[in-house]
């Protein structure tokens, strides 16, 4: 959603709407994480009155979907692709191969024995 989007472009890697969206989701999640955790604590605490816990459940479900951690997806920083992304290198498999063969990733070498 545009209300979570930065007014000025603030990422320096490959940019398309999907990476911008994912970045906005990450920032929204970081901003609202304490609130979410507090609500989660109230829900899990069985010593609190059931009414308060039910209210917390409702509040948590009514929070914006961008504040949910499950919305975040690792995307390729070289091409913005969402599938086949190696988490350690933040790159899709093809871009990882190209960068590794070009020697741009320290410590990565093509296997040969």
Partner 1 sequence: MAAVPRARLLNLMKAQCEVFSTTYNPDGIRMGNKILRQRLRGPTLAKYYPPKGPTIGTLERVFKRYELETINEEEEDRQEHLAG
* Cα–Cα distance list, 105 to 44, 57, 75 (Å): 44, 45, 18
12 interacts with partner 1 by CB under 8 A: yes
Site string (70-109) toward partner 1, x via CB under 8 A: --x-x--x------------x-------------------
Where does residue 107 fall: left (phi above 0), alpha (psi -120 to 50 degrees), or beta otherwise?
left
- Minimum distance, C-beta of residue 111 to partner 1, in the bound complex (Å): 28
Distance in angstroms (rounded) separating the CA atoms of residues 64 and 96? 34
| Contacting residues toward partner 1, per CB under 8 A | 9-13, 19, 22-23, 26-27, 29-31, 33-34, 37, 40-47, 69, 72, 74, 77, 90
């Amino acid at each position: 959603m545009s209300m979570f989007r930065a007014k000025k472009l603030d990422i320096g890697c490959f940019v398309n709407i999907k990476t911008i969206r994912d970045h906005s989701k990450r920032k929204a999640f970081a901003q609202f994480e304490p609130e979410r955790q507090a609500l989660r604590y109230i829900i899990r605490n069985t010593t609190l009155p059931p009414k308060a816990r039910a209210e917390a459940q409702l509040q948590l479900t009514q929070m914006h979907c961008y504040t949910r951690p499950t919305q975040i997806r690792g995307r390729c920083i070289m091409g913005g692709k969402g599938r086949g992304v190696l988490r350690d290198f933040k790159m899709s498999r093809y871009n990882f191969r190209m960068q590794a063969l070009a020697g741009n990733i320290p410590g990565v070498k093509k296997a040969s024995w």
